[in-house]
């Protein structure tokens, strides 16, 4: 009998970020790995690299879903252990969020916003940490969207939300 | 010698919308077609169908970029003349915006937001009409993002912005 | 009441080809357009450009489904009237064949073979013209696969096969 | 300092296969894992499941790149430890081969052929084992294409070819 697959959680954020956000991302990555989750990221620098470093230092498995077709086009950060080279550009954001039981968004620019939106569109819960402030234009509440005040809270929310579904891509 | 390709403009918005938004979308579709642009949409109902109907009634060419793998999975609306069946689900949003010289977003939910974000991430100008109100978390201005007060203003903005680049996907 | 969408037929082949294959592709493009079909290609040079030129000269509509994210990355050939910039690289082959009621493969290298295989995998009929010779390893017959002896035969086969389904992506 | 990423090798083949091919796939999966490679598959049944079982039993890491958007659409086989839900249908074949330093094709139908062709088109070496017999229509030799007589030979070829590049997606 096989053990069930582990929860997969995506950490998304910009490829360039100030040190405070990188510190949050490292703490989130470590917390998720400590909680037993596989950490998925876009595989690049900034928030993605910081989350990867935190997760790996905590003994976790780090999967990078890269936009380029190979390591020359988009080199993975050094803490990516499994690298998926998609060659899809920003369309890779789609499979990153679909493969996650929950998404943690830290800071972020337009790419991050696309990941938040793609997740919510397709039923994947999102935890915002120092990220976009979002309200639907029709004013409707979005039960899948959560805001965390700290890295620790983001971790517990993501683990809890992800576990409600199955082991990622639920 | 060939004529240069025509400008391609995408109209994005939700598959369900109130009549006021549908009326705006129809007017935008007609205006874009009247201005000589090929109208791209996601090919489905709601804002997409209304924009398609407006464009086609004005004699324009309407291209639908559908999420499903065939017409059974995701039937195009009746005004789609060229139907691209992508089988990519919401990842089709990526090619819809990349193929446009400008994007007009009308109303919209999370899917629309993903299209706005993917466009801005990749340098495609966006005109918002009764749509999301967006400000980057870092407060930075986004020169590619515009708000229109009317369908007519959305059309002129999109045509002007699109023409600054080449004929779509500039 | 809207007219039904027109049949969409894809012509696939290599970006570099000898003059004999280009001549066949031009004839196929012209024949398909003359038969009322919208011609889809990968939008680039070689077989794709020749088929586009033939179709456009015959008054047809030519849609190019390009691998790059914009016209700088992958310039469409001059006879492409609607250009889809996918940014998906060779994954664009998938939507090219899914959007076709039938595929005509002329000559071709590995990219062409991937298009033939993706079409057959997903139920889209393929007409081979001076192209790969294929037999399943299990020896099973493939009812969707046809060989033509001439451009004219390729055109009639593709039009007939495409019409059996709906207007492309059937 | 981080260890370099491990070699990633894809094993591709049909979702239904006779017991002889399943036995070969299991042996290949085990050999690749024993050689230190991460094993990538399409995540489903048949050859994919057999390769996954072999790799996991040998202590390897098994990554499944699934066509569906979630586990309900396309359930991973029980030996997939990291599941990527792409929602891309057969376009997922593209990222499966791009992420591999080498591809082993076992038996196979049209989907497998598309993976072989996409790999060769993009410079990824392919080892055939009881699979398609392929010769370019122009008669040109294909230095990236290899045939193995046994599972053991397929494993050594794939490991050697993959190591010539970097750790997958080289």
Asked if the Cβ–Cβ distance from D89 to B90 is below 8 Å, we say no
CB contact under 8 A, A90 and B122: yes
B150 and chain A in contact, CB less than 8 A:
no
Q: What is the dihedral of CA D29, A66, D116, D108, to 10 degrees?
A: 50
ipTM associated with this complex: 0.95
Q: Is D67 an 8 Å CB contact of chain C?
A: no
The residue of chain B nearest to residue A18, with distances taken between CA atoms, is B138
Contact C87 B80 (CB under 8 A): no
Res C168: pLDDT? 45
Q: Is the pLDDT of residue D168 over 90?
A: no
Which chain D residues are closer than 8 Å to C110 by Cβ?
117-118, 120-121
Across chain B, what does the average pLDDT equal?
Answer: 94
Which tops the pLDDT comparison, D91 or A136? D91
Which pLDDT score, from 0 to 100, does residue D169 have? 46
- Comparing alpha-carbon positions, the chain A residue that sits nearest to B114 is A114
Which residues 99-118 on chain C approach chain D with CB closer than 8 angstroms?
A: 107-111, 113-114, 116-118
Across B17-85, the runs of DSSP E, i.e. the strands, are: 38-41, 62-66, 82-85
**8 Å CB contact between B27 and B11:** no
Q: What is the DSSP letter of B91?
A: G
Query: Comparing C-alpha atoms, which of D46, D51, D21 is closest to residue D33?
Result: D51
Q: What is the mean pLDDT of chain C?
A: 94
Tens of pLDDT, residue by residue over D78-133, are 999 999 999 999 999 999 999 999 999 999 899 999 999 999 999 999 999 999 99
Kindly report, residue by residue over A7-63, the tens digit of the pLDDT. 999 999 999 999 999 999 999 999 999 999 999 999 999 999 999 999 999 999 999
Tens digit of each residue's pLDDT (9 = 90 or more) over D35-56 = 999 999 999 999 999 999 999 9
pLDDT > 70? residue A1: no
Chain B residue numbers touching C82 (CB-CB < 8 A): 5, 8, 38, 61, 63, 82
Selected for mutation to probe chain A from D1, D4, D5 (highest A CB count within 10 Å) is D5
Set of chain C residues whose Cβ sits within 8 Å of the Cβ of D93: 118
Cβ of residue D89 closer than 8 Å to a chain C Cβ: yes
pLDDT given for residue D167 in this prediction: 42
Nearest chain C residue to B78, by CA: C2
Closest CA in chain C for residue B92: C86
For the cut 80, the answer to whether the pLDDT of residue C167 exceeds it is no
pLDDT band at A2 (very low <50, low <70, confident <90, very high): low
At B168, is the pLDDT very low, low, confident or very high (cuts 50, 70, 90)? very low
pLDDT above 90 as % of chain A? 89
Is there a contact between B120 and A110 (Cβ–Cβ < 8 Å)?
A: yes
- The whole-number pLDDT of residue C2 equals 54
In chain D, residues with a C-beta closer than 8 Å to the C-beta of B88 are 87-89, 91
For the segment C127-143, the average pLDDT, to the nearest whole number, is 91
The pair of three-digit structure tokens given for residue B86, joined into one six-digit string:
């992508």
Measured between beta carbons, the chain C residues lying within 8 angstroms of A88 are 87-89, 91
**Are A88 and C89 within 8 A, CB to CB?**
yes
Does pLDDT of A120 surpass 90?
yes
- Where residue B2 falls among pLDDT bands split at 50, 70, 90? low
The per-residue pLDDT for range B12-38, each reduced to its tens digit, is 999 999 999 999 999 999 999 999 999
Q: Give me the pLDDT at residue D75, please.
A: 97
Q: What is the mean pLDDT of residues D4-28?
A: 96
How far apart CA C48 and CA C111 sit, in angstroms, is 12
Instruction: Write down the pTM of the prediction.
Output: 0.96
Kindly tell me if the per-residue pLDDT of C125 is higher than 80.
Answer: yes
Tokens read off for C34: 């003359």
DSSP chain C: -PPPPPPEEEEEE-SS--HHHHHHHHHHHHHHHHTTPEEEE-SSSTHHHHHHHHHHHTT--EEEEESSSSTTTSPPPTT-SEEEE---GGGHHHHHHHT-SEEEEES--HHHHHHHHHHHHTT--EEEES------TT----TTEEE-SSHHHHHHHHHHHHHHSSSS--
């Amino acid at each position: 009998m096989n053990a069930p697959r582990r929860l997969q959680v995506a950490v998304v954020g910009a490829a360039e970020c100030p040190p405070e956000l990188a510190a949050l991302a490292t703490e989130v990555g470590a917390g998720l790995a400590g909680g037993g989750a596989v950490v998925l990221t876009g595989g690049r620098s900034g928030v993605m690299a910081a989350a990867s470093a935190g997760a790996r230092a905590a003994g976790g498995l780090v999967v990078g879903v890269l936009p380029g077709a190979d390591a020359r086009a988009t080199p993975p950060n050094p803490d990516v252990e499994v690298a998926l080279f998609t060659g899809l550009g920003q369309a890779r954001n789609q499979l990153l969020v679909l493969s996650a039981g929950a998404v943690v968004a830290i800071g972020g620019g337009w790419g991050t916003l696309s990941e938040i939106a793609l997740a919510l569109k397709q039923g994947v819960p999102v935890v915002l940490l120092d990220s976009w402030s979002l309200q639907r234009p029709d004013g409707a509440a979005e039960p899948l969207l959560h805001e965390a005040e700290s890295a620790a809270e983001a971790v517990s929310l993501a683990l809890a939300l992800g576990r409600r579904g199955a082991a990622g891509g639920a």
